[in-house]
């Protein structure tokens, strides 16, 4: 649910030509997008040992207008035997992988599960790395690692070129980016500089980038770390989601909590 709420809050700010001056979370016109669909599809596959590729295609075809990227839209429409990885390093791998961080019981398992969630489409090394970085952030958050530890072992390790970057430094010039290399570290920084889950999502939208996806990446790390989300946000999200997602959410909570 943490990824879905980040996605939903950011949905109305994506593709804006100028950075938002006033940010209202959970506006009346918010929707869930491809980030939510893919996150729940991957979580369902990991829970029930379904083929991730098959389940992604199955669930995404149920929501054809969720805003998928061009290559992914073509991929889900292909017959099973033609659905092969297409070497993407887009952030689609990182926005859907958070279940790997929640379900893993070791760092090694995080890396393996995150790679598994990515490589059916995003088999480029940067696509896999993006998923592993976000999933590792979730894992460290749920295991009560402090932010300094998460910074050192996620941001500094996976994206050392972003080590000294702050929101204040890059927000004025940051633009819409869909590569893992230029959006995953942004999501991690939004979490690191946040005070709580809500503040994290607010910072994601402030970036003015691919804000719904940044929220879907940062949100699960923030929830894993802070241990709570606004109750009204949860209720609003649940009122919008289809029955299959609510079922997955209930099953997932029963397993990982």
Does residue 23 belong to any structural domain of this protein? no
- Rounded to an integer, what distance in angstroms lies between the CA atom of residue 211 and that of residue 21? 14
Does residue 38 belong to any structural domain of this protein? yes
- Rounded to an integer, what distance in angstroms lies between the CA atom of residue 54 and that of residue 154? 30
Q: Flag whether pLDDT at 134 surpasses 90.
A: yes
pLDDT at 17: 62
On the 0-12 / 13-18 / 19+ scale of CB atoms within 10 A, 208 is buried
Q: How far is CA 212 from CA 86, 216, 219, 225, in A?
A: 23, 6, 10, 20
Which of 28, 80, 34 lies closest to 213, judged by CA? Answer: 34
Does residue 25 belong to any structural domain of this protein? no
- Rounded to an integer, what distance in angstroms lies between the CA atom of residue 201 and that of residue 66? 20
pLDDT at 22: 83
The number of domains in the chain is: 1
Does residue 75 belong to any structural domain of this protein? yes
Beta strands in the chain (DSSP E): none
DSSP state of 176: -
Q: Flag whether pLDDT at 16 surpasses 70.
A: no
Instruction: Note whether 116 and 110 are within 8 A (CB).
Output: no
The dihedral through the CA atoms of 202, 204, 207, 209 has a sign that is negative
Does residue 21 belong to any structural domain of this protein? no
Residue 242's domain comprises 2-16+30-256
Does residue 74 belong to any structural domain of this protein? yes
| Whole-number percent of the chain with pLDDT over 70 | 98
Q: What's phi and psi for 179, nearest 5 deg?
A: -75, 150
- Rounded to an integer, what distance in angstroms lies between the CA atom of residue 16 and that of residue 36? 20
Instruction: Note whether 140 and 104 are within 8 A (CB).
Output: no
Does residue 252 belong to any structural domain of this protein? yes
- Mean pLDDT of the residues in the chain: 96
DSSP state of 151: I
pLDDT in tens, 26-59: 999 999 999 999 999 999 999 999 999 999 999 9
pLDDT at 19: 74
State the CATH number of the domain containing residue 107. Answer: 1.10.4080.10
Does residue 22 belong to any structural domain of this protein? no
Q: How far is CA 49 from CA 20, 41, 55, 57, 101, in A?
A: 41, 12, 10, 15, 16
- pTM to 2 decimal places: 0.96
């Amino acid at each position: 649910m943490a990824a879905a709420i980040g996605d939903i809050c950011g949905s109305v700010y994506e593709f804006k030509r100028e950075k938002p001056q006033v940010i209202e979370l959970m506006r009346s016109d918010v929707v869930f997008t491809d980030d939510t669909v893919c996150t729940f599809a991957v979580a369902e596959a990991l829970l029930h040992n379904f083929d991730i590729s098959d389940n992604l295609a199955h669930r995404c075809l149920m929501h054809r207008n969720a805003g998928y990227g061009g290559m992914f839209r073509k991929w889900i429409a292909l017959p099973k035997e033609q659905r092969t990885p297409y070497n993407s390093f887009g952030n689609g791998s990182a926005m859907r992988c958070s279940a790997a961080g929640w379900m893993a019981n070791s760092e090694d398992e995080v890396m393996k599960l995150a790679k598994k969630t990515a490589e059916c489409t995003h088999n480029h090394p940067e696509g896999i790395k993006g998923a592993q970085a976000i999933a590792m952030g979730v894992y460290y958050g749920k295991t009560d690692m402090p932010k300094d530890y998460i910074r050192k072992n996620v941001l500094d390790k996976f994206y050392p070129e972003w080590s000294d970057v702050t929101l204040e430094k890059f927000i004025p010039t940051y633009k819409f980016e869909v590569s893992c290399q230029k959006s995953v570290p942004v999501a991690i920084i939004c979490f690191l500089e946040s005070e709580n889950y809500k503040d994290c999502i607010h910072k994601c939208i402030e970036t003015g980038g691919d804000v719904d996806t940044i929220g879907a990446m940062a949100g699960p790390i923030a929830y894993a770390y802070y241990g709570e989300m606004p109750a009204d946000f949860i209720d609003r999200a649940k009122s919008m989601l289809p029955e299959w997602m609510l079922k997955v959410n209930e099953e997932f909570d029963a397993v990982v909590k």
